[in-house]
């Protein structure tokens, strides 16, 4: 069993511990999704973002490598009574979708956890038609209760490859190919941010 399969039952509780910031993040991402657009979420966990944007999207493909996470996402989608969200077991390195097949691609809280973020970035850019949206929590230099909570998560196996301030996150994204991102800062116990990368149209000759 992977760490993510193990922590699936507690994942939403952990996210809600950063309450107001997490809620504002969901609202901001929903606002970034054009009405009627197609959405793919990679490394979706329990599907909170996919479900938050479902009413704006034409359809949403919610993907993750953890079957336990996806089982919870399926239950949440059923409770929400939405047929717009399809849930599939996919790797962020191989999303198995055609080039430029989704208007908006979302990958939240994941690029700092994986061994090959540049490989994942290439795949996210490949399947995106117009936009890649990348929310992130900034766990570097925390103090007080927020620092204690992150320390507690580490005791259960949470092990990011790298941690960021907001400026360091933007620099990291540039280093793996996401140039010229827009950025939305979200204050909270654990600060968050949303990076938005736009695919540039290739001129036809």
Mean pLDDT, all residues of the chain: 91
Res 156: pLDDT? 62
Give whichever of 75-84, 152-161, 169-178 has the largest mean pLDDT.
Answer: 169-178
**pLDDT of residue 204 exceeding 80:** no
DSSP state of 45: T
In a domain, 177, yes or no: yes
167 in a structural domain: yes
Find, among 26, 29, 30, the residue nearest to 12 by Cα.
Answer: 26
Percent of the chain with pLDDT over 90: 73
> Which structural domain, as residue segments, surrounds residue 39?
3-198
CA atoms of 35 and 58, how far apart (whole Å): 8
Tell me the average pLDDT across 50-66. Answer: 97
Do the domain assignments include residue 203?
no
Q: What is the domain count for the chain?
A: 1
Q: Are 40 and 14 in contact (CB under 8 A)?
A: no
pLDDT at 145: 75
Nearest in space to 192 (alpha carbons), one of 12, 18, 42, 52 = 18
Instruction: Establish if 69 belongs to a structural domain.
Output: yes
pLDDT band at 6 (very low <50, low <70, confident <90, very high): confident
Q: Look at the pTM and tell me if it is higher than 0.85.
A: yes
Q: Does residue 90 have a pLDDT over 80?
A: yes
pLDDT tens digit string along 91-123? Answer: 999 999 999 999 999 999 999 999 999 999 999
In a domain, 12, yes or no: yes
Q: Which residues, including other chains, have CB under 8 Å from residue 95's CB and lie 6 or more apart?
A: 40, 42, 63, 123, 124, 127
187 is a domain residue? yes
Give the CATH number for residue 29: 3.40.50.150
- Is residue 7 included in any domain, yes or no? yes
How open is the CA angle 121-139-70, to the nearest 5 degrees?
55
Half-sphere exposure of 13 (CA within 13 A, CB side): 6
CA nearest 168: which of 112, 125, 115, 122? 112
Reported as a pLDDT band with limits 50, 70 and 90, residue 69 is very high
Q: Supply the DSSP symbol for 180.
A: S
Establish if 128 belongs to a structural domain: yes
pLDDT of residue 201: 64
Instruction: Return the percentage of the chain with pLDDT > 70, whole number.
Output: 94
205 band by pLDDT with thresholds 50, 70 and 90 = very low
Instruction: Quick: pLDDT tens for 135-144.
Output: 999 988 877 8
Task: Give pLDDT, residue 111.
Answer: 97
Contacts of 133 (CB under 8 A, 6+ apart): 29, 32, 104, 105, 106, 107, 108, 194, 195, 196, 197
The full DSSP string for 79-117 is HHT-SSEEEEE-BTTB----TT-EEEEEE-S-TTTSS-H
């Amino acid at each position: 069993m992977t760490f993510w399969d193990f922590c699936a039952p507690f994942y939403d509780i952990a996210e809600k511990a950063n309450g107001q910031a997490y809620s504002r993040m969901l609202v901001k991402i929903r606002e970034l999704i054009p009405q009627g657009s197609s959405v793919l979420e990679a490394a979706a966990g329990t599907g909170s973002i996919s479900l938050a944007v479902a009413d704006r999207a034409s359809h949403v493909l919610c993907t993750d490598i953890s079957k336990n996470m996806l089982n919870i996402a399926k239950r949440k989608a059923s409770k929400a009574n939405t047929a717009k969200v399809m849930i599939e077991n996919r790797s962020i390195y191989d999303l198995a979708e055609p080039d430029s097949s989704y208007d908006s691609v979302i990958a939240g809280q994941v690029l700092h956890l994986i061994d090959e973020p540049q490989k994942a970035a290439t795949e996210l850019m490949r399947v995106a038609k117009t936009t890649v949206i990348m929310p992130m929590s900034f766990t570097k230099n925390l103090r007080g209760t927020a620092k204690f909570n992150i320390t507690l998560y580490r005791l259960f196996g949470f092990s990011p490859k790298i941690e960021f301030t907001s400026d360091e996150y933007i620099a990291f994204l540039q280093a793996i190919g996401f140039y010229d991102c827009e950025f939305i800062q979200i204050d909270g116990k654990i600060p968050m941010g949303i990076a938005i990368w736009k695919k540039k149209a290739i001129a036809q000759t």
